[in-house]
Structure 1
Amino acid sequence: MNGSGIDYEAVFRALPAPVALLTTDLVYVDVNETFTTMVGRAREQLIGRYLFDVFPDNPDDPAASGARNLGASLRRVAATGEREAMALQRYDVEVPDRPGVWEERYWSPVNTPVLDADGNVALILHRVEEVTELMKARGRTGTVEGDRARVLEAELYTRAKELQEANQELRRAHDREHEVALSLQAAMLPMPGPLEHHRAAVRYRPAVGSLNVCGDWYDLAELPGERLAVAVGDVVGHGLTAAGVMGQLRSALSAASRVAEGPGQALEVLGLYARSVDGAESTTVFLAFVDWSTGMLTYSSAGHLPAVLLHVDGTVQFLDGATDPPLGARPEHVGRPQTAVPFTTGAALVLYTDGLVERRHEAIDTGLHRLADALARHHGAGPEALADAILSDLMPAGGATDDTALLVIGL
């Protein structure tokens, strides 16, 4: 039972469809009774065992491909977190208690990811319907009905193969776009060179999954005097389009920061420019000007998550005093707010994008509290060590489902 009062284990057992739960290593965790009946195996013959140790391909059939096709589908689901319905499969099964005797069987599988609290694939729900009798019925029908059944079966098989080939081609196209977008991001987000008097650490982690290349970006620009402009931003969307918009906005903000009187004015200029860039609407940006000569940090936010000022004593201060809507959110032109806070030598400024703290099925405050706790534990570390510690503490083991940019500036 859980807080909803629903006994999900009882629901699983009562499902009329044959279902099994697998780990991402394809080991049986649980099965319902319908599944054991259908495959002719007892529960204890399945739980804790590797799927293809229990159900290998027929070694007497050199064309057998059921295990290979099913394994490829399950591993894609584990890697991408996306549900996948497979084309009809012939997958022969060894007759229980008759070693070496194989039955011709036909299956229609659907594989669905089960995500944990961090949005990672924890288990795979494997549902399979057997259609062996339907496939064999053609041999038991009359001539006319048999001909119709064979024609229909041939059409269904052809359509299934066409769909499978189309899905494979689409997956290859997505993979190519992913590689190009990553290269574009790398070209537009080079690691910053050494600052004149101060230290900075930058980390960028692309999202896991072939469709999740996003528009996260960062920038550092040294200004006249002992000043530094530092920014992070997040473009809505994925793929090449988002990466292209990201490059335009990053360049525009870098230029505006060098001539603006403060971060509020720089974001105001960026907002006006964003109106002419398709896909720039709802982009979020956090921009800070650090002035070591005065010991003041001035910042402005266009709908972005608050940066953090980590004080020397380990106190964590979220910079949320000058938050305004994202770019393009207002139909009319309005100036952007900014505010300033003091800092002391030895403090650190931490900027990041949402991939660091946001998780599916979890309130954003939970992720922000995790970040605050990690910073408090590691205060006093240099920028490089602090950046590594933050990623180690906050990033899911399998990678985040959104891009993550992280900047740590030693103050």
Structure 2
Amino acid sequence: MPSSVDSDSAADRLRRIEAVTDTTLAHLDAAQLLNELLVRVRDLLAADTATVLLLDRSGQQLIASAASGIEEEVRQGVRIAVGEGFAGHIAATRQPLMIQQVGPTTVVNPLLWEKGITSLAGVPLLAGGELIGVLHIGTLAPRPFTEQDVQLLQVVGDRLALATHSRLSRAERAAASALQRNLLPTRLPHVPGLELSARYAPGEAGGVGGDWYDVFTLPSGWLCVAMGDVVGRGLPAATVMSRLRTTVRSYALDSADPGEVLSKVDQHVRHFEPQTMSTIAYAMWEPSLDRMHLSLAGHLAPVLIVPGEPASVLDVPVDPPVGVGSTPVRRRVATIDVPAGSTVLFYTDGLVERRHRTLDDGLRLLRESARAGSTELLCSTVMSRLVGADPTDDDIAVLAVRRQDTGELGAITLVFPAVPEVLADIRATLRRWLPSVGTSPDDIADLLVVIGEAGSNVIEHAYGPAGGELTVALRSHGRDVFATISDSGRWRPPRGTHRGRGTQLMEQLTDELRVEHGPDGTTVHIRRRLTGGE
């Protein structure tokens, strides 16, 4: 039977446990909390060292994350495989362990015996039944740890695990949310001839997921739209989503075939992300915008909304998601005509699949809710009708792409950095906008030369090494196209001889050419009478 001295000592220790996770530590982040707690653990249990090793995402390695008295463990990035050595055995069995002999036969971390530690006691860190790591203490002098010591250490470990898990979960959710916010386009690109709007709503169960969308143009003038849904939640899903988005962009530069792009993405996932599965819808618009080429990797088909017709889910083939199966598949591509005024609506399954609604009912409600017109109004209506005030268990992404009517495209203004690389972007923009105002192939070819020459002059003459901006504004009126190319620089004299031939060519290809130099920059005014239809 324990003595009163022993009882008093135990009671004092139990009171001191309360100090391990008291309210004064509430303001600390996970790293600061661990460091402070380990100092208190050493004092509580009269130990020379205390270490926390946290389980990594693979569940196969323990990583030294905080240490007191043996800080080298963290600084040197000590890793212990689950099942190996002292800490690895505790993680594998989820049971406390004490040893009185520290050496190569009992531990795998040489720092422990090099520091002269002779006795170790360790416990698993469990939060909600989930192993998050291992806590162990050590002494330089031999010490036979008692059952009471281990019980106290386990109580401390439980409280430490709960506080740490809570902070790590909050930090992970914040990191995942920040990563997703940074990767989802804050502003959709301005594409002449198109109106674009999007919505993203994070799920309220289990943190941020892997839903994403992307819109970008290629140097060839093609427009690309991608939407995907990575299986999983939290920071791992958001991290994979970020890599997948970059992978799609990279392969898009090399191919004008959506099926080939998704095949390469699938191959990439199988090799570099073998535990990943994701659905992806990937579409490419021709520069004229009148046709879309679409490939689906397990993703729900978009909705096509043509003015005057009921909205319909596109009847196109759906291939397996990327990362599924043991062998690559030949991915199919559907070509869809997109009449002027029509909208293509992309979405993830969180929009149509709900606990109280079947997929078929969700798709029916989506078709009934989708109407031609403003993409902003379309996104708002769809989210209102299909989501409303109900909690969203899954993430939801919606992206609407509408091909504008010719009457809406009377004028555009674009601002580019004054660098040579933007000339390709300017040409791609002109190839999309000019056909919408009735230009013939000859008109387009001539205006590409004229506006390209004017842009080149700005890049070469308007600015010094600091650079500046180039503004291109276009409008149509009747049978004329008017263009202005302006800068805010101070022009330098032409270098070399026989210059000015570009200006002569511009005069030959336009009906009016006027250059205005002023203290605030230079503006080139161009008017071209259209030959299309004559």
Cα distance in 2, alignment partners of residues 383 and 292 from structure 1: 20
TM-score, with structure 1 as normaliser: 0.57
Q: CA deviation at 1:254?
A: 1.4
Q: CA deviation at 1:393?
A: 1.3
Match of 2:226 among 201, 208, 231: 231
Q: Do 1:245 and 1:280's aligned partners in 2 also have CA atoms closer than 8 Å?
A: no
1:198 corresponds to which residue?
194
Match of 2:397 among 388, 399, 405: 405
2:60 corresponds to which residue?
none
Q: CA deviation at 1:166?
A: 4.9
Q: CA deviation at 1:226?
A: 5.2
Match of 2:320 among 325, 341, 345: 325
Q: How does 1:8-407 map to 2 (within 5 A)?
A: 166-167=161-162, 169-191=164-186, 192-209=188-205, 211-224=206-219, 227-278=222-273, 281-291=276-286, 293=288, 295-360=290-355, 362-375=357-370, 379-407=371-399
Cα distance in 1, alignment partners of residues 397 and 383 from structure 2: 10
- In structure 2, the residue corresponding to 1:275 is in which secondary structure? helix
**Per-residue CA distance 1:212-263 (angstroms, 9 max, x = gap):** 2101111112135553111100111111111111011111111222321221
Q: Do 1:236 and 1:280's aligned partners in 2 also have CA atoms closer than 8 Å?
A: no
Q: CA deviation at 1:370?
A: 1.4
Q: CA deviation at 1:296?
A: 1.6
Q: CA deviation at 1:410?
A: 0.8
1:323 aligned partner, one-letter code: V
Cα distance in 1, alignment partners of residues 330 and 312 from structure 2: 25
- In structure 2, the residue corresponding to 1:251 is in which secondary structure? helix
- In structure 2, the residue corresponding to 1:276 is in which secondary structure? helix
Calculate percent identity across the aligned residue pairs: 32
Cα distance in 2, alignment partners of residues 225 and 314 from structure 1: 32
Q: CA deviation at 1:176?
A: 2.0
Instruction: Mark the CA change 1:278 to 1:220 in structure 2 (over 3 Å): closer, same or farther.
Output: same
Cα distance in 1, alignment partners of residues 318 and 333 from structure 2: 8
**Per-residue CA distance 1:157-179 (angstroms, 9 max, x = gap):** x9999868755653343222111
Cα distance in 1, alignment partners of residues 219 and 354 from structure 2: 39
- In structure 1, the residue corresponding to 2:272 is in which secondary structure? coil
1:362 aligned partner, one-letter code: R
Cα distance in 2, alignment partners of residues 294 and 194 from structure 1: 14
Instruction: Mark the CA change 1:294 to 1:278 in structure 2 (over 3 Å): closer, same or farther.
Output: closer
Cα distance in 2, alignment partners of residues 393 and 193 from structure 1: 27
How many residue pairs were aligned?
Answer: 253
- In structure 2, the residue corresponding to 1:325 is in which secondary structure? coil
Q: Do 1:235 and 1:242's aligned partners in 2 also have CA atoms closer than 8 Å?
A: yes
**Per-residue CA distance 1:10-66 (angstroms, 9 max, x = gap):** xxxxxxxxxxxxxxxxxxxxxxxxxxxxxxxxxxxxxxxxxxxxxxxxxxxxxxxxx
Cα distance in 2, alignment partners of residues 186 and 330 from structure 1: 31
Q: Do 1:236 and 1:279's aligned partners in 2 also have CA atoms closer than 8 Å?
A: no
Cα distance in 2, alignment partners of residues 343 and 300 from structure 1: 16
2:389 aligned partner, one-letter code: A
Q: Do 2:305 and 2:372's aligned partners in 1 also have CA atoms closer than 8 Å?
A: no
Cα distance in 2, alignment partners of residues 257 and 308 from structure 1: 23
Following TM superposition, the consecutive aligned residue runs of length 4 or more in structure 1 with deviations greater than 4 angstroms are 158-169
Instruction: Mark the CA change 1:313 to 1:168 in structure 2 (over 3 Å): closer, same or farther.
Output: farther
- In structure 2, the residue corresponding to 1:259 is in which secondary structure? coil
Instruction: Mark the CA change 1:370 to 1:171 in structure 2 (over 3 Å): closer, same or farther.
Output: farther
Q: Do 1:310 and 1:347's aligned partners in 2 also have CA atoms closer than 8 Å?
A: yes
TM-score, with structure 2 as normaliser: 0.44
Cα distance in 1, alignment partners of residues 340 and 275 from structure 2: 37
Cα distance in 1, alignment partners of residues 388 and 328 from structure 2: 40
1:297 aligned partner, one-letter code: M
Higher relative contact order (CA 8 A, sep 6+): 1
Moved more, 169-178 or 197-206: 169-178
1:353 aligned partner, one-letter code: T
Q: CA deviation at 1:301?
A: 0.4
Cα distance in 1, alignment partners of residues 365 and 163 from structure 2: 39
Cα distance in 2, alignment partners of residues 167 and 398 from structure 1: 31
- Listed as ranges, the gaps of 5+ residues in structure 2 are 1-150, 404-534
**Per-residue CA distance 1:176-205 (angstroms, 9 max, x = gap):** 211110001111112223223321112111
1:70 corresponds to which residue?
none
Instruction: Mark the CA change 1:279 to 1:194 in structure 2 (over 3 Å): closer, same or farther.
Output: farther
**Per-residue CA distance 1:79-117 (angstroms, 9 max, x = gap):** xxxxxxxxxxxxxxxxxxxxxxxxxxxxxxxxxxxxxxx
- In structure 1, the residue corresponding to 2:271 is in which secondary structure? coil
**Per-residue CA distance 1:280-313 (angstroms, 9 max, x = gap):** 6321001111225272221110001111111111
Cα distance in 1, alignment partners of residues 241 and 163 from structure 2: 29
1:130 corresponds to which residue?
none
Q: Which has the larger radius of gyration?
A: 2
